[in-house]
């Protein structure tokens, strides 16, 4: 099978043997695929086999044994068929991941080794293997991400014995500094980052899985919840906790805790500066983003764990406080179900959790309070397999902030992967539900897909240093749904309005890039890859639909929404799951609707408001 | 509380790994589980645990206590919480079986647990219930005893029929002075249909050589029954014998004592004979391990009782026996022996030898299991035998793998003779001593008769012999 992958990689990257790094890509690609879910792995391998078979039919030999020119011919004839372009694109994504890493290792080896990692604050982490089969606690928090960490800290500070359960393991800053980005990538993300919401178009929806949750791998952008969103939550959904004054107190405390400040200009990087320049020339509102990384060194590796410890992910900022207040973290602990006592007078009462260890054995923790903070994609299946998924709206109402990205080619080098990963926000169109953020991942890990195959792609790769990339996310309608109980299955049908917003967002990003001096703009759309002017871009987009876009999303919310209407909200305005006593919801799934900005601070502030009330009552 | 409770025993063995040790130690739990309700598998039952915890080379506590939550279906959990002492420190064992329909046997027999000291984990381990060796004893140990409360036996039972007598009598030994006390409260409904009356007496039995036995009678007074909720015991002319208290004044005596009942009611006669008065009379000890605190004044002195052991017994029937003997022996540690040996006044029955009702409560279990066993044997064969006489009388008998020999001595100087009068007017004489001596030998057959227990009561046995 690796022979087929090797052939495909050689063809896609136009490997002519002149440089050593493409030769190492197939092995790394094999590792990448190993961490992906079975369907994704099978799909890539089937595509590789199909391309190999095509080469066999066309030339009588397999891709591996063809010369570079022959491979180019075979691939060009494939790429000529427009219906096959999406398939090739799908195969390209993991290949680019592996290629980006190998290229960096071979061409800039010192980048991974020159950092001296600081010591992380201590955490009381125990592997589930070491944890006893039976134990008790006053509160169990499922998930150690933004919502779970805050809940654990508040409850522990209230004097409760708190156990935090985390499916992933603890990763230290030192570890991030030692290992190559892609090696961390596979372990830090659920499904190796290959979580996909089915729909037309499908949406890649990566979520973190580690002590610290997605905050370990997010970009660190920290927006306060917009006032109009809070007003909507209070007035339309009956959330008293969303009262602007009291919520502001929670936001302030969260910002203090994770040290939110504007990204410093000195490490902003060329990518961000291009965005600022473009916006300034257009007269648009733009500024460096507020982030939880005051000492940022511009490593541009936020999405695979900050190697300098500057980003105050919750495992560095909130969980240490929780642990010093007595909370304990159990890692490698997959919560199989919440235990419920159904014969209690007054109705069912949660009484603990059953947890599966990596070796398949189980442990149980009894606790009168269970805090669900497994994330918007995992909380609904957890509740379903616990027999608590009876509410018709559970798992629905999924908003994800669909995002598209474009790149601008400049005459001078930009080297987007040096500087702050997500650096500048262009808020001109925020009132239209569009938020543009200058975002550039480590090589191969950005959500932007380079156009072309074979030599064209290789040329793009070699010229990647002169690309600046922007991303835009839109405030979407809750068009998604989380299905399944044992396995999560995502469905997301992009609303027509949101499709229009996305096209408008691409147009706006092109405008910023051209204004900044870009020679051409790469759309990332296979059918219309490049435009050399804004007019050309607008004309090109006129002939496209949102279904042709490469969409990714990073902010799933709303699947166990809080609300005063029992018909539409699975949880009440105080965060208690309806239909059972003793279950609190404090993660992104609790948000009643799309927060319209990067949601970390919002999730944390909501968790703070919910758990404070419980802690005060206890 | 339901009409019946549940008790059973369970033994589990396994291993435990103490924190800081690399080797595992064997552990064994021998538990007695009790609850006030009948165990219903589909519901949740909270039980009380007592038993023994043994951890090789580290702990052996016979007096472990705790709680158990049995809910195999509703909560799919059987939880054990047990406190015990090891190495001079208190530990608590907390664990539960998590019932899984997919693995019914494993999940019902495997008990993972942790040991905690002061809320901190000190060890973890796993116990297992062995189906091969423990299932039969476990199933055979199930009992569903009636939930019995001593207080419900105290209100008067007399239903207005003539020819009945009803007695509340309390006997106490003051451990500090060795004095015995006897408070006898009696309701008599004469056979001739005349009005029922209440009377009784009080007697003080000084310890050996410290003076003569003294007594005083009270009554008779017409019986004035009160409405049911208020009539909780004997009440007549300022003399009360009710739940938790005894007070009164008679002659030179006055007393005010609080009664703290303890122990399950002891049915000296068959339980059915107390519920349905078919026998000429029946006796019951509602709280065989009661203790008394208060004052008892007599001519020339006063006793200050502090937790003095004793018991209140009840009799209801047609009158006194033709001949009888009675013993109440507090054996210590909650063990008690109660004997009534009697020859009935009924024609035909009066020709029989004394019927012996012997009840030994030892370690919470009553022997013989059925009261009829000692009286009737197997159609007379194997019945217990009594030799009634004075100053010494005895009872011997064998049931199952145990046999008992009881010899009671009532020295004349420590015995009080009183005239009794039945509802039909016939007289009897009772010779009572609350400072009697008793020798009790309990043996068990194990290849040969081996002594299981031996008690010697010097001046602390309560006994009487009656005849006509």
Question: What are B63-111's pLDDT values in tens digits?
Answer: 999 999 999 999 999 999 999 999 999 999 999 999 999 999 999 999 9
Residue A110 is predicted with a pLDDT of 52
B403 touches chain A (CB under 8 A): no
d(CA A153, CA A320): 9
Residue B85 distance to chain A (closest CA, Å):
20
Q: Are B218 and B108 contained in the same domain?
A: no
- Smallest CA-to-CA distance from B331 within B174, B169, B462 is with B462
User: Which positions 400-459 of A are in contact with B (Cβ < 8 Å)?
Assistant: none
Q: Identify which of A134, A342, A362 has the shortest CB distance to residue B96.
A: A134
Q: Identify which of A136, A341, A342 has the shortest CB distance to residue B94.
A: A136
**More confident call, B224 vs B446:** B446
A158 within 8 A of A150, measured Cβ to Cβ: no
- Smallest CA-to-CA distance from B408 within B363, B379, B447, B440 is with B440
Q: Are B135 and B218 contained in the same domain?
A: no
d(CA A475, CA A493): 14
Residues whose CB is less than 8 angstroms from the CB of residue A449 and which lie 6 or more positions away in sequence, other chains included: A89, A92, A93, A96, A524, A550
What does the pLDDT look like over B134-171, one tens digit per residue? Answer: 999 999 999 998 777 778 888 899 988 999 999 999 99
Q: Identify which of A134, A339, A341 has the shortest CB distance to residue B113.
A: A134
Secondary structure element (H or E) that encloses residue A160, with its range: none
Please give the structure tokens belonging to residue A85. 């372009």
- Which of B140, B171, B187 terminates a domain? The answer is B140
Q: Is the peptide bond before B368 cis (omega within 30 degrees of 0)?
A: yes
Angstrom distances, CA of residue A336 to CA of A374, B75, B326: 12, 16, 65
Q: Are B266 and B363 contained in the same domain?
A: yes
- With both helix axes pointing from N to C terminus, report the angle between A496-516 and A270-282 in degrees, rounded to the nearest 10: 100
Give the dihedral of Cα atoms A338, A339, A342, A345; nearest 10 deg: -100
Mean pLDDT along residues A466-495 = 94
Domain ranges for chain A, please list them. Answer: 1-107, 125-170+210-218+223-257+313-394+558-617, 192-205+259-302+400-554
Count of other CB atoms within 10 angstroms of residue A217: 28
d(CA A12, CA A26): 11
What does the pLDDT look like over A110-135, one tens digit per residue? Answer: 554 455 778 899 999 999 999 999 99
Residue found by looking up tokens 């929670």 in the block:
A250
Residue A351 distance to chain B (closest CA, Å):
9
User: Which positions 132-151 of A are in contact with B (Cβ < 8 Å)?
Assistant: 132-136
d(CA B163, CA B176): 41
Q: Are B163 and B21 contained in the same domain?
A: no
- CATH architecture of structural domain A125-170+210-218+223-257+313-394+558-617: 3-Layer(bba) Sandwich (3.50)
Counted residue by residue, chain B has a size of 468
Cβ separation A133–B126 shorter than 8 A: yes
Residue B111 is predicted with a pLDDT of 97
Query: Total domain count for chain B?
Result: 2
Q: Are B162 and B288 contained in the same domain?
A: yes
d(CA A58, CA A53): 8
Band (pLDDT 50/70/90 cuts) for residue A406 is very high
d(CA A154, CA A162): 10
Count of other CB atoms within 10 angstroms of residue A129: 14
Please give the structure tokens belonging to residue A133. 């089969």
Instruction: Give strand pairing partners of B172.
Output: B181, B310
Band (pLDDT 50/70/90 cuts) for residue A1 is very low
**φ, ψ dihedrals at B322, nearest 5°:** -75, -45
Closest Cα in chain A to B80: A134
B277 located within any domain: yes
Q: Identify which of A133, A136, A341 has the shortest CB distance to residue B112.
A: A133
d(CA B163, CA B368): 32
Residue A46 is predicted with a pLDDT of 87
A354 touches chain B (CB under 8 A): yes
Q: Identify which of A132, A354, A364 has the shortest CB distance to residue B121.
A: A132
Secondary structure element (H or E) that encloses residue B332, with its range: strand B323-332
What does the pLDDT look like over B206-262, one tens digit per residue? Answer: 987 788 999 999 989 999 877 766 778 899 888 999 888 999 999 999 999 999 998
Closest Cα in chain A to B107: A362
Q: Count of alpha carbons within 13 Å of B16, Cβ hemisphere only?
A: 28
DSSP state of B194: P
User: Which positions 335-374 of B are in contact with A (Cβ < 8 Å)?
Assistant: none
Cβ separation B74–A341 shorter than 8 A: yes
Q: Could you give the 3-state DSSP secondary structure of residue A250? A: helix
- Smallest CA-to-CA distance from B316 within B433, B448, B168 is with B168
Residues whose CB is less than 8 angstroms from the CB of residue A258 and which lie 6 or more positions away in sequence, other chains included: A222, A292, A312, A314, A317, A318, A600, A601, A604
In B195-322, beta strands by DSSP E = 197-205, 214-222, 234-236, 239-242, 245-250, 253-260, 266-267, 281-298, 301-317
Please give the structure tokens belonging to residue B43. 């519901």
Residue A364 distance to chain B (closest CA, Å):
9
- Which of B91, B115, B140 terminates a domain? The answer is B140
Mean pLDDT along residues A335-362 = 95
d(CA A248, CA A605): 9
Residues of A with a known catalytic role: 555
- Which chain A positions have a beta carbon within 8 Å of B126's beta carbon? 133
A351 touches chain B (CB under 8 A): yes
Closest Cα in chain B to A137: B119
- Smallest CA-to-CA distance from A383 within A560, A556, A246 is with A560
Cβ separation B94–A132 shorter than 8 A: no
DSSP state of A312: -
Q: Are B392 and B426 contained in the same domain?
A: yes
Closest Cα in chain B to A135: B114
In A175-285, beta strands by DSSP E = 196-198, 203-204, 261-262
- Which of B140, B171, B186 terminates a domain? The answer is B140
- Chain centroid to CA A118: how far? 25
Least trusted range by pLDDT, from A180-194, B60-74, B172-186: A180-194
d(CA B315, CA B340): 11
Please give, one letter per residue, the 3-state secondary structure of B264-296.
CCEECCCHHHHHCCCCCEEEEEEEEEEEEEEEE
B339 located within any domain: yes
Angstrom distances, CA of residue B130 to CA of B9, B13, B39, B51, B72: 13, 8, 22, 18, 18
B146 located within any domain: no
pLDDT surpasses 60 at A74: yes
Give A340-397 as a DSSP string.
EETTSTTS-EEEEEEEE-TTS-EEEEE-SEEEE-S-TTTHHHHHHHTT---STTTT--
pLDDT surpasses 90 at A183: no
B44 touches chain A (CB under 8 A): yes
Q: Quote ipTM for the complex.
A: 0.85
pLDDT surpasses 70 at B1: no
Band (pLDDT 50/70/90 cuts) for residue A109 is low
Task: Please work out, in degrees rounded to the nearest 5, the angle formed at the alpha carbon of residue B227 by the alpha carbons of B223 and B230.
Answer: 95
Domain span at residue B309? 155-467
Residue A2 distance to chain B (closest CA, Å):
41
What does pLDDT average to over chain A?
91
B149 located within any domain: no
Please give the structure tokens belonging to residue A201. 């178009």
**More confident call, A447 vs A478:** A478
d(CA B256, CA B158): 26
DSSP state of A515: H
- Which chain B positions have a beta carbon within 8 Å of A135's beta carbon? 114, 121
Q: Is A360 left (phi over 0), alpha (psi -120 to 50) or beta?
A: left
A325 within 8 A of A153, measured Cβ to Cβ: yes
> Is this model's pTM higher than 0.90 or not?
no
Please give the structure tokens belonging to residue B24. 């595992």
Give the dihedral of Cα atoms A148, A151, A157, A158; nearest 10 deg: -140
Task: Please work out, in degrees rounded to the nearest 5, the angle formed at the alpha carbon of residue A143 by the alpha carbons of A137 and A147.
Answer: 105
Mean pLDDT along residues B261-290 = 91
Among the residues of B156-265, which ranges form H helices? Answer: none
According to CATH, the topology of domain A192-205+259-302+400-554 is Glucose Oxidase; domain 3 (3.30.560)
Q: Count of alpha carbons within 13 Å of A393, Cβ hemisphere only?
A: 24
Q: Are B317 and B431 contained in the same domain?
A: yes
d(CA B164, CA B166): 7
A486 touches chain B (CB under 8 A): no
Per cent of chain A over pLDDT 70 is 98
Q: Are B115 and B167 contained in the same domain?
A: no
Cβ separation B75–A351 shorter than 8 A: yes
> How many pairs of residues across A and B have Cβ atoms under 8 Å apart?
39
Instruction: Give strand pairing partners of A354.
Output: A337, A364
Q: Is the peptide bond before B220 cis (omega within 30 degrees of 0)?
A: yes
What does the pLDDT look like over B410-423, one tens digit per residue? Answer: 999 999 999 999 99
Q: Select from A128, A134, A352 the residue whose CB has the most chain B CBs within 10 Å, as the one to mutate to test that interface.
A: A134
Angstrom distances, CA of residue A260 to CA of A285, A425, A612: 20, 15, 21
User: Which positions 219-278 of A are in contact with B (Cβ < 8 Å)?
Assistant: none
Cβ separation A132–B124 shorter than 8 A: yes
Q: Are B337 and B414 contained in the same domain?
A: yes
What does the pLDDT look like over A213-257, one tens digit per residue? Answer: 999 999 999 999 999 999 999 999 999 999 999 999 999 999 999
Q: Count of alpha carbons within 13 Å of B192, Cβ hemisphere only?
A: 7
Residue A365 distance to chain B (closest CA, Å):
10
Count of other CB atoms within 10 angstroms of residue B251: 14
Q: Are B218 and B105 contained in the same domain?
A: no
Q: Count of alpha carbons within 13 Å of A372, Cβ hemisphere only?
A: 37
Secondary structure element (H or E) that encloses residue A445, with its range: none
B112 touches chain A (CB under 8 A): yes
d(CA A191, CA A488): 11
Q: Are B125 and B209 contained in the same domain?
A: no
Residue B87 distance to chain A (closest CA, Å):
23
d(CA A309, CA A119): 8
Q: Are B69 and B184 contained in the same domain?
A: no
Residue A472 distance to chain B (closest CA, Å):
49
B80 touches chain A (CB under 8 A): no
Cβ separation A134–B126 shorter than 8 A: no
């Amino acid at each position: 099978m690796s022979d087929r992958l090797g052939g495909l990689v050689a063809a896609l990257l136009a490997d002519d043997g002149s440089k050593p790094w493409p030769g190492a890509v197939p092995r790394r690609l094999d590792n990448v695929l190993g961490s992906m879910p079975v369907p994704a792995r099978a799909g890539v391998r089937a595509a590789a086999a199909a391309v190999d078979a095509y080469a066999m039919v066309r030339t009588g030999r397999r891709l591996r044994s063809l010369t570079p020119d022959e491979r180019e011919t075979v691939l060009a004839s494939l790429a000529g068929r427009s219906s096959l372009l999406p398939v090739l694109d799908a195969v390209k994504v993991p290949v680019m991941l592996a290629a980006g890493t190998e290229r960096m290792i071979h061409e800039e080896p010192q980048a991974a080794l020159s950092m001296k990692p600081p010591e992380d604050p201590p955490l009381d982490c125990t592997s589930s293997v070491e944890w006893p089969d039976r134990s008790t606690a006053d509160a169990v928090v499922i998930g150690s991400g933004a919502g779970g960490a805050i809940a654990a800290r508040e409850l522990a500070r209230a004097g409760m014995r708190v156990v935090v359960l985390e499916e992933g393991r603890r990763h230290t800053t030192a570890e991030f500094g030692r290992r190559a980005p892609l090696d961390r990538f596979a372990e830090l993300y659920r499904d190796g980052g290959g979580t996909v919401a089915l729909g037309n178009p499908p949406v890649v929806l990566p979520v973190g899985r580690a002590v610290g949750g997605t905050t370990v791998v997010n970009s660190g952008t920290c927006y306060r919840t917009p006032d109009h969103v809070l007003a909507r939550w209070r007035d339309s959904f009956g959330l008293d906790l969303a009262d602007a004054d009291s919520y502001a107190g929670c936001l302030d405390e969260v910002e203090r805790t994770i040290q939110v400040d504007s990204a410093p200009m000195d490490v902003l990087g060329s990518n961000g500066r291009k965005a600022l320049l473009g916006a300034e020339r257009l007269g648009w509102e733009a500024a460096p983003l507020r982030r939880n990384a005051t000492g940022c060194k511009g490593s541009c590796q936020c999405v695979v764990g900050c190697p300098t410890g500057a980003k105050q992910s919750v495992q560095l900022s909130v969980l240490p406080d929780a642990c010093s207040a007595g909370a304990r973290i159990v890692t490698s602990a997959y919560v199989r179900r919440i235990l419920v006592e159904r014969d209690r007078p007054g109705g069912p009462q949660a009484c603990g959790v059953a947890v599966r260890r990596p070796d398949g054995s189980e442990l149980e923790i009894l606790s009168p309070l269970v805090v669900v903070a497994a994330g918007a994609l995992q909380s609904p299946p957890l509740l379903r397999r616990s027999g608590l998924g009876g509410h018709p709206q559970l798992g629905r109402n999924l908003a994800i902030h669909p995002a598209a990205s474009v790149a601008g080619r400049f005459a001078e080098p930009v080297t987007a992967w040096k500087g702050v990963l997500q650096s500048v926000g262009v808020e001109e169109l925020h009132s239209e539900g569009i938020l543009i953020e200058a975002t550039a991942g480590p090589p191969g890990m950005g959500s932007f897909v380079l156009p072309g195959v074979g030599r064209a792609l290789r040329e793009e790769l070699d010229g990647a240093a002169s690309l600046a990339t922007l991303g835009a996310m839109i405030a979407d309608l809750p068009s998604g749904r989380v299905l399944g109980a044992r396995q999560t299955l995502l469905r997301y049908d992009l609303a027509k309005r949101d499709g229009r917003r996305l096209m408008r967002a691409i147009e706006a990003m092109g405008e910023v890039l051209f204004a900044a001096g870009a020679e051409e703009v790469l759309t990332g759309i296979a059918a219309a890859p490049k435009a050399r002017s804004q007019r050309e871009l607008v004309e090109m987009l006129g002939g496209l639909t949102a279904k042709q876009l490469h969409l990714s999303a990073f902010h799933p919310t709303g699947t166990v929404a809080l609300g005063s209407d029992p018909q539409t909200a699975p949880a009440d305005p105080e965060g208690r799951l309806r239909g059972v006593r003793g279950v609190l919801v404090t993660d992104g799934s609790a948000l009643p609707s799309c927060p319209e900005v990067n949601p970390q601070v919002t999730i944390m502030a909501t968790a703070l408001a919910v758990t404070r009330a419980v802690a005060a009552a206890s | 509380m339901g009409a019946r409770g549940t008790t059973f025993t369970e033994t589990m063995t396994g291993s435990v790994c103490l924190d800081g040790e690399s080797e595992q130690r064997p552990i064994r739990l021998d538990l007695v589980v009790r609850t006030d309700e009948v165990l219903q598998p589909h519901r949740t039952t909270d039980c009380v645990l007592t038993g023994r915890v043994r951890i090789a080379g580290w702990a052996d506590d016979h007096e472990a206590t705790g709680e158990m939550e049995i809910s195999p279906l509703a909560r799919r959990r059987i939880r054990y919480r047990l406190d015990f002492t090891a190495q001079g420190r208190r530990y608590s064992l907390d664990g539960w079986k998590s019932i899984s329909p997919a693995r019914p046997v494993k999940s019902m027999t495997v008990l993972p647990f942790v040991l905690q000291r002061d809320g901190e984990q000190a060890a973890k381990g796993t116990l297992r219930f062995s189906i091969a060796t423990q299932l039969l004893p476990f199933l055979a140990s199930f009992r569903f005893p009636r939930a019995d409360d001593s207080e419900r036996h105290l209100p008067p039972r007399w239903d207005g029929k003539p020819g009945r007598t009803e007695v509340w009598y309390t006997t106490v030994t003051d451990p500090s002075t060795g004095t015995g006390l006897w408070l006898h409260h009696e309701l008599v409904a004469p056979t001739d249909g005349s009005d029922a009356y209440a009377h009784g007496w009080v007697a003080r039995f000084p310890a050996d050589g410290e003076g003569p036995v003294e007594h005083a009678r009270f009554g008779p007074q017409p019986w004035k029954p009160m409405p049911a909720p208020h009539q909780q015991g004997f009440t007549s002319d300022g003399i009360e014998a009710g739940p938790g208290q005894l007070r009164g004044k008679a002659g030179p005596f006055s007393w005010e004592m609080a009664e703290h009942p303890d122990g399950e009611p002891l049915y000296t006669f068959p339980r059915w004979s107390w519920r349905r008065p078919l026998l000429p009379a029946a006796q019951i000890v509602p709280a065989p391990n009661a203790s008394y605190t208060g004052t008892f004044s007599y001519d020339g002195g006063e006793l200050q009782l502090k937790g003095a052991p004793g018991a209140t017994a009840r009799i209801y029937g047609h009158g006194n026996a033709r001949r009888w003997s009675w013993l109440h022996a507090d054996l210590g540690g909650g063990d008690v022996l109660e004997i009534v040996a009697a020859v009935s006044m009924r024609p035909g029955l009066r020709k029989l030898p004394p019927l012996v009702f012997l009840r030994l409560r030892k370690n919470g279990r009553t022997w013989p299991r059925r009261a009829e066993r000692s009286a009737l044997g197997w159609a007379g064969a194997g019945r217990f035998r009594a030799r009634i006489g004075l100053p010494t009388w005895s009872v011997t008998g064998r049931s199952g793998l145990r046999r008992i020999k009881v010899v009671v001595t009532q020295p004349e100087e420590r015995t009080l003779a009183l005239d009794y009068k039945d509802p039909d007017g016939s007289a009897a004489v009772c010779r009572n001593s609350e400072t009697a001596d008793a020798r009790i030998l309990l043996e068990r057959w194990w290849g040969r008769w081996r002594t299981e227990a031996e008690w010697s009561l010097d001046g602390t046995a309560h006994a009487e012999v009656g005849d006509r």
